[in-house]
Amino acid sequence: MSELNAKDGAHEVDEANPLEQSTITMLDVLEQEKELEDEYAAVLGASDEKSCTYAKGAIGRQALYSCLTCCPEAREDLDKAAGVCLACSYRCHEHHELVELYTKRNFRCDCPTQRLGKCSLNPQVEGIQPRNVGNLYNQNFQGLYCKCRRPYPDPDRTVEEVMLQCAICEDWFHLPHMKAPGASEKWLDVCSEMICDGCMDAKPFLKDYAGLALQPVVDDVKEAKPEAEDHQLKNELDRSICDIMKVPEGESQPEEGEPSQKRAKLEDCRRPKPAKQHQGAAFWTNDWRKSLCQCSECLSLYKELAVEFLLDAEDSAKTYEERGMKRAEENSSYEQGIRALASIDRTQQIDAITEYNRMKDKLKEYLQAFAASKKVVTEEDINRFFAGMRNENNANLGQPYFCR
């Protein structure tokens, strides 16, 4: 995953009419940079890139990586797997074969433990630490995903693949490989979380809350006009929590800060009793977790099934991404670039974009050689390219410039 495919990195050149090639402005460059920053921030979720998180204990959510260079046996034996934090992936496992795990909950970095050995970011830790018994490992640590147990990206797939992460087991699944309602593909952009069919069966109490999930369009509506179908989907999203939870009309949900005597008694179980049993995966709307019953019986059930994290407002992957986006906004290269662009005159702007276009053309030419030979572009190849560019620029220092 850390490598760039040359077919993706190279662009075709219109040899027939090169004058019609699209031009690029400095603002375009900054906007492209911002898109990359946003994606980067969402994946890393404000994870610490300088300090190993082992000393902090189990982190609610952080960016994690599995090192198959240090743990080659993990390919066949999951008990040999290990996960490292973002900082250790940079300092202790650079140039190793890493599997990007996105994020896992309540995980403690394995770098200074018996699974991996001494961590260069924890010199104060004496000796190799015992294993983190609280860590959970699944097939993702082996570079495998879904019920099909295939890698991502899958070299044998010829079409785009979309995968969703289950909010319970945190494995990733292809939509066609799950038992799921027929209209699920329409919900990918509107659902907040997904729970796979296996976890819905393993935690049957979740089916009682299926009324909070997006519902399939019934057969007679499928034959209606598209506008009617969209209207029904919108109505499904707009249904009130009170209706779903069968709260009597006129009785409102208690607001934060209200006296305890005005709140519903925790001993009164508010788990809904659906008329129809849910089947398959569930696609949930925003804030569905807030409707989970917190009576003593349900709290005991959550503990027994090891899903107490569902009551943690900071647990969801969406919240994790939002933290990363907020951090990125505070130190955005896009904003810095806009300010820098406004501080230089037009001649300097032209010089800057000219140099950028020269670098882009040389990089395109460089990558086309890899595309022609169907070779993968590695980090070393990219570093070699930019080292050559720096040497070329240094050689031109002090040379007279002639305007043509």
The stretch 145-152 carries a mean pLDDT of: 95
Does a structural domain hold residue 110?
yes
Bigger pLDDT: 236 vs 375: 375
Look at the chain and report how many structural domains it folds into: 3
Residue 105 lies in a domain: yes
Token pair recorded at residue 111: 């770098």
195 — pLDDT class (breaks 50, 70, 90): very high
> Do 194 and 286 belong together in one domain?
yes
Q: Which of 182-196, 336-350, 376-390 has the lowest mean pLDDT?
A: 336-350
C-alpha to C-alpha distance for 193 and 309, rounded to whole angstroms: 14
Q: Is the pLDDT of residue 341 over 90?
A: no
Same domain, 100 and 174: no
- 207 in any annotated domain: yes
Q: Of 80, 107, 142, which one is at a domain's C-terminal end?
A: 142
Same domain, 182 and 122: no
Q: Is cis: bond before 153, omega within 30 of 0?
A: yes
Confidence tier at 2 by pLDDT (50, 70, 90) = very low
Mean pLDDT of 139-145: 97
Higher local confidence (pLDDT), 39 or 389: 389
Q: Are residues 178 and 277 in the same domain?
A: yes
* Residue 17 DSSP code: -
What is the C-alpha to C-alpha distance for residues 68 and 75, in angstroms, rounded to an integer? 7
Residue range of the domain that includes 373: 348-391
Question: Over 60: is that where the pLDDT of 238 sits?
Answer: no
Same domain, 183 and 294: yes
Structural domain ending residue among the three candidates 142, 160, 185: 142
Given this model, what pLDDT does residue 252 score?
Answer: 46
Same domain, 101 and 158: no
Listed residues 289, 306, 331: the one ending a domain: 331
337 within domain boundaries = no
Is 167 in the same domain as 316? yes
Same domain, residue pair 195 and 291: yes
- Of all residues in the chain, the percent with pLDDT exceeding 70 is 69
Q: What integer is the mean pLDDT of 219-244?
A: 48
Shared-domain flag, residues 327 and 210: yes
Instruction: Tell me the pLDDT of the chain averaged across its residues.
Output: 78
Same domain, 125 and 64: yes
Instruction: Write out the two tokens for 222.
Output: 């499928």
Q: What pLDDT digit, counting tens, does each position of 72-108 carry?
A: 999 999 999 999 999 999 999 999 999 999 999 999 9
The mean pLDDT of 281-286, rounded to a whole number, is 91
184 and 85 belong to one structural domain: no
Higher pLDDT, 272 or 251: 272
- Of 243 and 197, which is predicted with more confidence? 197
